[in-house]
Amino acid sequence: MTNSTLSSKEKKLSRLIIALSVVIPLAVAILFGVRIEGVDLSFLPPVYAGINGLTAVILIFALIAIKNKKIQLHQNLMTACLGLSAAFLVMYVLYHMTSDSTSYGGEGAIRYIYYFILISHIILSIAVVPLVLFTYLRASLGQFDRHRKLARITFPVWLYVAVTGVIVYFMISPYYGS
């Protein structure tokens, strides 16, 4: 592949990533306003919390794999994380389209901690979309120096989002159905 072809391909994919980075949060926000009645998906929160937990574990194994120069394993694990994150997003949106929001019932300092974790989780879950996609793109294009540089930012953000997703679930789970 020539530099001009690579550059053209990278530009097209970059535009797609930027579009997805805008469309995904907007679609999620819009779909939160859609209500599907008569469908019970109340079983999904522990499932997608489990997906977040599994994503966090696989991210750590992927980091270990690349540190040990197991490139193919790293690539496979990161692709699995992408798939898990997509599955999480679909389940999360479906749950919220079929269920009323659950209010957090904790009081005192724990309430502030919960909302800090929740708000930082939401903000970073929006930011992680372009980070992950651009990091993955750079690896796919063989731009490993640029990939590593961005991965140093992407990894801790993605790990934080995955771990805090589990924490938020455990903090709010006593209030489901209340």
* pLDDT one-digit tens code per residue, 63-101: 999 999 999 999 999 999 999 999 999 999 999 999 988
On the question of pLDDT at 3 being above 90, the answer is: no
> Which pLDDT belongs to residue 126?
97
Q: What is the tens place of the pLDDT at every residue in 125-145? A: 999 999 999 999 999 999 999
On the question of pLDDT at 5 being above 80, the answer is: no
Q: Tell me how far apart the alpha carbons of residues 63 and 59 are, in angstroms, rounded to a whole number.
A: 6
Give the chain's mean pLDDT.
94
Residue 75 one-letter amino acid:
Q
Q: Is the separation of the CB atoms in 53 and 176 below 8 Å?
A: no
Contacts of 166 (CB under 8 A, 6+ apart): 49, 52, 53, 56
> Which pLDDT belongs to residue 4?
57
- Residue 9: pLDDT band (50, 70, 90) is confident
Tell me phi and psi for residue 99, to 5 degrees.
-135, 150
Q: What is the tens place of the pLDDT at every residue in 46-58? A: 999 999 999 999 9
CA-nearest of 23, 174, 142, 126 to 71 is 142
Q: Tell me how far apart the alpha carbons of residues 135 and 158 are, in angstroms, rounded to a whole number.
A: 11
Mean pLDDT across 5-24: 90
Q: Tell me how far apart the alpha carbons of residues 14 and 37 are, in angstroms, rounded to a whole number.
A: 38
**Which of the pair, 177 or 76, is modelled with greater confidence?**
76
CA-nearest of 66, 93, 61, 64 to 80 is 61
CA quadruple 93, 99, 101, 106: dihedral, nearest 10? -110
> Which pLDDT belongs to residue 8?
86
Q: What pTM did the predictor assign? A: 0.92
